[in-house]
Structure 1
């Protein structure tokens, strides 16, 4: 479980960075800042035995999940009421980043529980299997989410 938070943060950050391309500046700047912060935090989490700043990260991830949910639901709600809201980010990208952020939030919450048992003795084979599984899951979610964005969509050949 040591690698999951870092990998989930990096995956969500890459999706946010990829989603920012081609959007209006009001959407681009927050998505790019969020994506960069997630990638940097994820790298820091992979480099340490414990994730850095777990309380601040939990608050930031909760804000990202709420804003992502609003971004996912806002265009559909506006369309039902005869309005038009286009954030320029496909729902698939918001959904993938939200799923990874939600996993990250749960893992941070588990780490913040007082009195949690100490980690078991490290087992290299078990660690490699868990890290490989985490990397595969994050890679699948990130790839599919980025494919839905303008960055990963169909490219025009010149």
Structure 2
């Protein structure tokens, strides 16, 4: 379970960065900032036994969740009132990143609920299986989400 937060953050960061080219300039800047921060935090989390700055990361995830809710809810609400608001983002990509961010938030809450870091009680095989399962789940969500973006949808298949 030690690698799961880092992998989830890296997956969400890749989705945010992959969604950026199809967004308007202001949204592009936010996506690049959020995606870059998630990537850096994820890499840092992979190199440490406990997630770095879990409280700060949790607060940042709450901000990302609010922005995600706005990106998903504002355009349909505006259309019902006869106006048009478009962030230019793929719904699948937004939902994929949101799923990974929610998983990351849950893992951080679980870590904070423990109070103090626990000593590793797992063997190498158990660690590899858990890390492989986490990597496969994150890769599945990330690949499916990126396929829904304009960049991912136009990639040639080999």
After the TM superposition, which parts of structure 1 deviate over 6 Å for at least 4 consecutive aligned residues?
none
Deviates more, 1:34-43 or 1:63-72: 63-72
Unpaired runs of at least 5, structure 1: none
Distance in 2, Cα, partners of 1:100 & 1:37: 14
What is the aligned length? 156
Task: Quote how far apart the aligned CAs of 1:103 are.
Answer: 0.3
Deviation string, structure 1 residues 58-89 (Cα, Å, up to 9, x no partner)? 10011111211111111111112211111010
Greater helix proportion: 2
Match of 2:38 in 1: 38
The answer to whether the Cα contact below 8 Å between 2:50 and 2:117 also exists between their aligned partners in 1 is: no
Task: Quote how far apart the aligned CAs of 1:155 are.
Answer: 4.9
> Is the partner of 2:150 in helix, strand or coil?
coil
Deviates more, 1:14-23 or 1:95-104: 14-23
Cα RMSD of the aligned pairs, angstroms, is 1.6
Unpaired runs of at least 5, structure 2: none
Distance in 2, Cα, partners of 1:76 & 1:92: 15
User: Counterparts in 2 of 1:84-123, with a 5 A limit?
Assistant: 84-113=84-113, 115=115, 118-123=118-123
| TM-score, normalised with respect to structure 1 | 0.93
Distance in 2, Cα, partners of 1:114 & 1:145: 32
